[in-house]
Structure 1
Amino acid sequence: MIVLNTYAIITEQFPNKETKVKDFDPYILKDNLLEFTYQEDGDLIKLLFVKKRIDQEQVNCKLVINYMPYSRMDRKIEGDLFTLQYICAFINDLHFEKVYVIEPHSAKTIELLRNSEAIYPALDWLPAIMDQMQFTDQDRIVFPDKGAAARYHNTGYDHSCIFDKTRNPETGRIENMLLKQGDIPKGAKCIIVDDLCSAGGTFLWAGQTLKQMGASEIYLLVTHCEPRVLSGKLLDQDSPIDKVFTGTSMMQQTHPKIEYITINLENYV
């Protein structure tokens, strides 16, 4: 989905699957803001068409990327292409005045995108969630791995914990998860914080470990959540995760364990 100055661009398909973009001339301003929500590769072609039309008016245009596509393919792995660099090159060639990325998976995205800036709304959501959960000094913010810890080290909360997880190099499955930093007091409420949830295996493992260590309530805060989570075990009745707080960058399906948080772009752009 592409939104131009709060107007949702309308697209259709011709019978041969080519993209048809409906006129949006009345919504082009002197200074424009495009909001891009990736759902499939065809959305990148739509972004190309929309930006090229705006360019014809010789006006300014900034881009907000709600979720950076291919952000997990952020390095060269034997046998696979380093695809993030190609997506970033594609966006760079569209020559946006500024590019804002909501919670990039790693610093590589910002490194590859010209005139870009990362936005971390989870850090703004966290205090309100802590208040809602009535956090005390006996409760804990939990980072499931060192990547999350590096991303959110500015939480301003002293009582945080960091897990260290080990994956099987061939299957990618988690084989072990140990508490590397901090402690879990008996009866503690915990909020696990990270950028992205897919099926939720990491958070399910972390939640089970926290329960074994004596945690009483466990919540998950992720900016991006894939629809795949609905088919996993993370949201089951017997899951250790009591509730998931997330944005609407990748899904909006309702579930009793999911609470959506809206990003107010005016606070960042």
Structure 2
Amino acid sequence: MPSPDPKIISGNANQPLAQAISRRMSMHRGVKVGLVDARVEVFNDQEIFVEVFENVRGEDMFIVQSTSNPANDNLMELLIISDALRRSSASRITAVIPYFGYARQDRRTKARTPISAKLVANLIANSGIERVLTMDLHAAQIQGFFDIPVDNLYASPIFALDLMHHFQGQMDDVMIVSPDVGGVARARELAQRIKAPLSIVDKRREKAGEVAEMTVIGDVTGKKCIIVDDICDTAGTLCKAAEVLIDAGASEVHAYITHGVLSGPAVDRITKSKLKSLVITDTIEPTQAVKDCANIRIVPTAPMFTQAILNIWNGTSVSSLFDTQTLEPIYEPLYPGLAIDA
């Protein structure tokens, strides 16, 4: 007989997050829900091989795998795990992709370029995956690239809880800042949650990777500015925006970023920047350098992903997790005593 609980299997992209989800699932279900015993191995010629050591026939399977760096290896792991489960007669396969790689290639910016996000969506759907659960897609329309259901969670309810906890009694001084015009919708959504004003940093590029000029739209004098974005890669734009905000009169600058890619010189830049703190989630497994950085703090996503998996498994609403008040009891151990106005 199939197990009465959802079954979770993990690739190598973010084992700590998968284990955290498994532990929280055990707490919710009242029985031990461990990760499915499997091996994901890389041969000498870099071929990926997967072997599942447990019976998964008729099971509701959830694969936890971010397609972060190395993006191609992690993507292939996801596809091969899915194929192994499908050929082992799993009843349904859901891909839990906390960070969806290739999301920045969501349109043709010039002639003769690919739309890689659509290609990846096709690969995922054709591998036997029947549903995708992810967080803060770089562009919301990527959901339409899939011909299978996609649940896109938002980090903003978690960020709202974190802000209300760490800036308790100072919320009147907080201002949310979008680092560019394209991210205004995301920043406005968080600003509305915490009832804070909104400002924009308008950036102009002379060529890719180089910011020529930045202008602050809005009065940030004396404000604790919170820069909100979905991805921080090399941190060049983020550190420059912090500098421009301080020059415009901001008292402090903090940043809340969902996906901490933090490649190349990012950690060094953040350490030396005018950012007082950078808050990221664990959708991408942090490197040791990120963990050791004094002004980088990591908030967990396992409570939200665990609840979302349970809701999918039970056939109940996932969109209920878009509400800060719904998440408050889930995150109460992290922010004890925090009361949100109804």
Question: TM-score, normalized by length of structure 2?
Answer: 0.71
- From 211, 226, 249, the equivalent of 2:246 is 211
Q: How large is the RMSD of aligned CA atoms in angstroms?
A: 2.3
Alignment match, 1:162: 200
Alignment match, 1:92: 125
C-alpha displacement at 1:266, in angstroms? 2.2
- From 78, 84, 88, the equivalent of 1:53 is 84
- In the TM superposition, 1:52-201 aligns within 5 A as 52-56=83-87, 57-78=89-110, 79-114=112-147, 115-134=149-168, 135-155=170-190, 156=193, 157-168=195-206, 170-180=207-217, 182-186=218-222, 188-201=223-236
Q: Is the 8 A contact 2:49 2:80 kept in 1?
A: no
C-alpha displacement at 1:120, in angstroms? 0.8
Q: Secondary structure at the match of 1:149?
A: helix
C-alpha displacement at 1:17, in angstroms? 2.2
Alignment match, 1:12: 41
Structure having the higher strand fraction is 1
Aligned residues: 265
Structure 1 residues 189, 176: closer, same or farther in 2, change over 3 A? same
C-alpha displacement at 1:225, in angstroms? 0.9
C-alpha displacement at 1:229, in angstroms? 5.9
Structure 1 residues 93, 214: closer, same or farther in 2, change over 3 A? same
Structure having the higher helix fraction is 2
| Larger relative contact order (CA 8 Å, sep ≥ 6) | 2
Q: Is the 8 A contact 2:233 2:262 kept in 1?
A: yes
Letter in 2 for 1:64: V
- In the TM superposition, 1:15-26 aligns within 5 A as 15-26=44-55
Letter in 2 for 1:77: T
Deviates more, 1:31-40 or 1:218-227: 31-40
Unaligned runs of 5+ residues in structure 2 are: 1-9, 12-17, 23-34, 310-342
